Structure 1
Amino acid sequence: MAGVADLDVVAWVLVVDGRLLAVRSRGRDLLYLPGGKREPGEDDWTALSREVREELDVELDRASFRELGVIRAPAHDQPDYTHARMACFTAAHRGEIAASGEVDEYLYLAPADRGLLAPAARAALDLALDHGLLH
């Protein structure tokens, strides 16, 4: 549908022991990647580090911050025809991950668990597979 702008979001792709970190936001049925919508004027680093700090109470490491790729997928729980443009990044972190803010829980998912993920997070999982981060 013409005139519907993509949601501009950033996501943190963290793989530990072959599993992808995912979060469940309050009231949501599917899992998402840590991250979220960019605020006006925020660059990728500023938006992602803020979102991850709010959601998981950890600090991302600026020196290890790398773009993994950009995906576009239908936006879950949004009006019809809405898509998310999600810039995906990897980065090391400092601190112990803990659900915080609007995040009720976090889980580490294997590729076989893809059905638990929202469409954009599924596309990001495929991106991680393509880059050899998951097997």
Structure 2
Amino acid sequence: MANDNGVPEKVAWILVRDDRVLVTRSHGRDRFYFPGGHREPGESDSETLLREIDEELRATIDPGSMVHFGTFEIGEGHPDHDPFRMICYTAAHRGELTPSREIAEKAWFRYADRDRVSAVDEMAFDALHEAGRLS
């Protein structure tokens, strides 16, 4: 779903463990992405994240633990990407991280793997690295 300015938005989950961050890859895609997805009409960020993480990884996000990490946006004129905004949250979860049918692969990336993610995800990788959370 797009925001009021027509820019597509994604609500994404950032889970860091042992200086690595969780990423997923959808079938038919080469790039990895933070898990999450687009809002359904009328959904809040927390409702979107809970639904998407359940759909993609069969895990349950604890909405009370959600903390906004950052919002990252690619504007007009980017050579490799249309305008796009990603709203990122950290959060605790329950359950194993088991990819669903829509997810081809999950992985744990270090900062050195930054070139394997999408352009907007690269911005979040940079912010995680600058914050000392991703080596």
Confirm or deny a common fold (TM above 0.5). Answer: yes
Q: What is the CA-CA distance between 1:134 and the residue it aligns to? A: 1.5
Which residue does the alignment assign to 1:25?
A: 26
Identity within the alignment, %: 42
**Could you give the per-residue CA deviations for residues 21-61 of structure 1, whole angstroms, max 9, x where no partner exists?**
00001111100100011111111000011111100000011
Matches within 5 A, 1:68-107: 68-73=69-74, 82-107=82-107
Give the gaps of 5 or more residues in structure 2: none
Please report the TM-score for the alignment, with normalisation by the length of structure 1.
0.87
Q: Report the secondary structure of 1:28's partner residue.
A: coil
Q: Report the secondary structure of 1:133's partner residue.
A: coil
- Alpha-carbon separation, structure 2, partners of 1:23 and 1:81: 19
Q: Report the secondary structure of 1:71's partner residue.
A: strand
Q: Are the equivalent residues in 2 in contact too, given 1:7–1:82 (CA < 8 A)? A: no
Q: What is the CA-CA distance between 1:82 and the residue it aligns to? A: 2.0
Please report the TM-score for the alignment, with normalisation by the length of structure 2.
0.87
Q: Are the equivalent residues in 1 in contact too, given 2:81–2:119 (CA < 8 A)? A: no
- Alpha-carbon separation, structure 1, partners of 2:93 and 2:81: 35
- Alpha-carbon separation, structure 1, partners of 2:132 and 2:40: 31
Question: Match for 1:102: what amino acid?
Answer: E
- Alpha-carbon separation, structure 2, partners of 1:127 and 1:121: 10
Q: Are the equivalent residues in 1 in contact too, given 2:22–2:106 (CA < 8 A)? A: yes
- Alpha-carbon separation, structure 2, partners of 1:28 and 1:81: 15
Question: Match for 1:116: what amino acid?
Answer: R
Which residue does the alignment assign to 1:62?
A: 63
Give the gaps of 5 or more residues in structure 1: 75-79
Q: What is the CA-CA distance between 1:125 and the residue it aligns to? A: 1.1
Q: Are the equivalent residues in 2 in contact too, given 1:5–1:82 (CA < 8 A)? A: no
* Number of residue equivalences: 127
- Alpha-carbon separation, structure 1, partners of 2:72 and 2:60: 24
Q: Give the aligned CA root-mean-square deviation in angstroms.
A: 1.6
Q: Report the secondary structure of 1:32's partner residue.
A: coil
